[in-house]
């Protein structure tokens, strides 16, 4: 039997790092920080290690080509500002393995959602504008309210040019060296949006949209979707083919677990991988995905990388306020006791691949909100189908059987015209959007009290896709199947 006072000489405690530990790289200087138990660095070696990791990530994947326009999506936080610092470092004149792309900056102000006053938003924008101006890169400071003026083309799947998206990396570099193309002063200061214009009507519409969403989980998911649409439109409007996100390893670990809980399992590979090609002509890249939040915080503190704290939806909320907040708290607390937690989750995300049928370029094949492939076309033996049947049986609706006034051939809400065309004659409902959304986005829209509060480019595209599917159903007997 085990004894309480029994001594186990075979078990040894992990040694506590001493203050006079030497750097693991140069073996000479005294370490100033310890990233992990066996990784102690001096200041100069840590800077070299941090910079090398960023350029190695870009060099290993080889998706950004010389003279390609890359948009840096910044939030003002530590990770995205550190990414901006690395791009500045890599574009320096004396930098080894110099970066050759042409950068730009975009910042989406979310103060209209988080409840900040116009003065508070303006102060944050002023601080960020100072950081952006010092870089010399063109920048765009856009309020989130501008999603209410986006065109429906944002939601259209776009195919990239094969000659432009799949060139030989070596050929692109050789051409760059031969031509010795330099970024001129005119191109650096080409397009900069310094005016922070916020329409009161759009602000009211944005607040009405988020007030109609009942849970914080759905609010955070909707905010992420709208922000991504605005960044995508900015990139397309200004000919940027790549968008850099500042997602760190710690952030991606939280995102992976929370997305599983939100039902986004089919899109995990796209949401956490280094490159996300769901938009076709614009590719999302995440060069900071190998950095932990601890490494980023130490680097910013030691080398004076400026950042701006801006409150978000979950600021000062308790741990159980949303699924995202609860997952973050869980991973952070677990990481404190088990330091390999984040890296284990992160390495798991690297092994994920999207296993879906051959993607179609038809708009109906993409989710209306996240633009991922719709994952609800499954067999009847699936758990999703069982859930759908239970939901239908639990919803008892009283339907009027009157057939007096108008003759509807296309179903409830559709008015048949004398010309043979059909038009939508009632307000948009959740049931109208249901077939156009993936499983996770269905849950988000389901938490909305009024679907009509969505931006017009979403509702217009929904009506267009619904009308197209009904027209296709009407002429289905005249169409050939894919096998035929």
CA distance 188 to 186: 5
Q: What's residue 266's pLDDT?
A: 83
Q: Which CATH class is domain 62-363?
A: alpha beta
Report the side by side order of strands in the sheet with 283-285: 139-143, 102-109, 69-74, 242-244, 283-285, 275-276
Q: Tell me which of 54-68, 214-228, 289-303, 354-368 is least confident.
A: 354-368
Boundaries of every domain in the chain: 62-363
Does residue 312 have a pLDDT over 60?
yes
Structure tokens at 314: 């979950």
Q: What's residue 126's pLDDT?
A: 93
**Tens-digit pLDDT profile for residues 232-272:** 999 999 999 999 999 999 999 999 999 999 988 888 888 99
pTM of the predicted model as reported, rounded to 2 decimal places: 0.83
Q: What's residue 69's pLDDT?
A: 94
Average confidence score pLDDT of the chain: 80
Q: What's residue 18's pLDDT?
A: 56
**Tens-digit pLDDT profile for residues 168-216:** 555 655 555 555 444 333 333 334 454 566 788 899 999 999 999 999 9
**Tens-digit pLDDT profile for residues 123-160:** 999 999 999 999 999 999 999 999 999 998 898 877 65
Does residue 122 have a pLDDT over 50?
yes
Q: What's residue 401's pLDDT?
A: 43
Three-state secondary structure readout of the chain: CCCCCCCCCCCCCCCCCCCCCECCCCCCCECCEEEECCEEECHHHHHHHHHHHHHHHHHHHCCCCCCCEEEEEECCCHHHHHHHHHHHHHCCCCCCCCCCCEEEEEEEECHHHHCCCHHHHHHHHHHHHHHHHHHCCCEEEEEHHHHHHCCHHHHCCCCCCHHHHCCCHHHHHHHHHHHCCCCCHHHHCCCCECCCCCCHHHHHHHHHHHHCECCHHHHHHHHHHHHHHHHHHHHHHCCCCEEECCCCHHHHHHHHHHHHHCCCHHHHHHHHCCEECCCCCCEEECCCCCCCHHHHHHHHHHCCCCCCCCCCCCCCCCCCCCHHHHHHHHHHHHHHHCCCHHHHHHHHHHCCCCCCCCCCCCHHHECCCCCCECCCCCCCCCHHHHHHHHHHHHCCCCCCCCCCCCCCCCCCCEEECCCCCEEECCCCCHHHHHCCCCHHHHHHHHCECCHHHCCHHHHHHHHHHHHHHHHHHHCHHHCCCCCC
């Amino acid at each position: 039997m085990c004894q309480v006072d029994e001594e186990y000489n075979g078990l040894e405690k992990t040694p506590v790092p001493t203050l006079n530990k030497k750097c693991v790289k140069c073996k000479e200087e005294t370490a100033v920080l310890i990233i992990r138990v066996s990784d102690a660095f001096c200041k100069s070696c840590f800077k070299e290690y941090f910079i090398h990791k960023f350029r190695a990530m870009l060099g290993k994947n080889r998706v950004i080509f010389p003279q390609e326009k890359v948009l840096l999506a910044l939030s003002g936080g530590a990770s995205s500002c550190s990414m901006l610092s690395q791009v500045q470092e890599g574009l320096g004149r004396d930098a080894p393995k110099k970066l050759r792309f042409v950068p730009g900056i975009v910042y989406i102000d979310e103060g209209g959602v988080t409840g900040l006053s116009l003065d508070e938003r303006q102060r944050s924008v002023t601080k960020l504008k100072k950081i952006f101006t010092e870089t010399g890169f063109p920048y765009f400071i856009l309020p989130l309210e501008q999603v209410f003026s986006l065109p429906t083309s944002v939601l259209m799947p776009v195919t990239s040019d094969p000659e432009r998206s799949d060139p030989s990396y070596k050929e692109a570099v050789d051409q760059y060296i031969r031509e010795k193309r330099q970024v001129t002063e005119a191109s650096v200061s080409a397009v900069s949006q310094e005016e922070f214009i916020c329409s009161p009507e759009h602000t009211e519409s944005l607040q009405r949209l988020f007030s109609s969403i009942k849970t914080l989980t759905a609010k955070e998911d909707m905010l992420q979707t709208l922000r991504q649409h605005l960044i995508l439109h900015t990139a397309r409007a200004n000919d940027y083919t790549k968008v850099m996100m500042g997602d760190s390893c710690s952030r991606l670990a939280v995102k992976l677990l929370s997305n599983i809980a939100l039902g986004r399992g089919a899109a995990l590979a796209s949401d956490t991988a280094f490159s996300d090609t769901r938009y076709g002509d614009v590719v999302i890249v995440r060069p900071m995905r190998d950095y932990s939040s601890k490494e980023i915080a130490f680097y910013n503190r030691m080398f004076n990388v400026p950042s701006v704290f801006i409150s978000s939806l979950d600021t000062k909320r308790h741990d159980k306020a949303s699924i995202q907040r609860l997952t973050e708290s869980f991973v952070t607390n677990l990481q404190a006791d088990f330091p390999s937690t984040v890296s284990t989750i992160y390495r798991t995300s690297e092994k994920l691949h999207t296993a879906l049928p051959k993607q179609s370029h038809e708009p109906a094949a993409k989710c209306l909100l996240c633009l991922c492939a719709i994952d609800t076309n499954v067999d009847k033996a699936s758990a999703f189908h069982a859930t759908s049947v239970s939901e239908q049986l639990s919803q008892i609706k009283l339907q009027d059987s009157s057939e007096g006034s108008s003759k509807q051939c296309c179903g409830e809400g559709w008015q048949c015209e004398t010309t043979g065309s059909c038009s939508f004659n009632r307000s948009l409902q959740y049931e109208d959007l249901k077939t156009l959304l993936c499983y996770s986005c269905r849950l988000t829209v389901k938490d909305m009290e009024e679907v009509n509060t969505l931006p017009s480019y979403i509702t217009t595209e929904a009506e267009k896709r619904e009308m197209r599917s009904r027209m296709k159903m009407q002429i289905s007997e005249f169409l050939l199947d894919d096998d035929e």
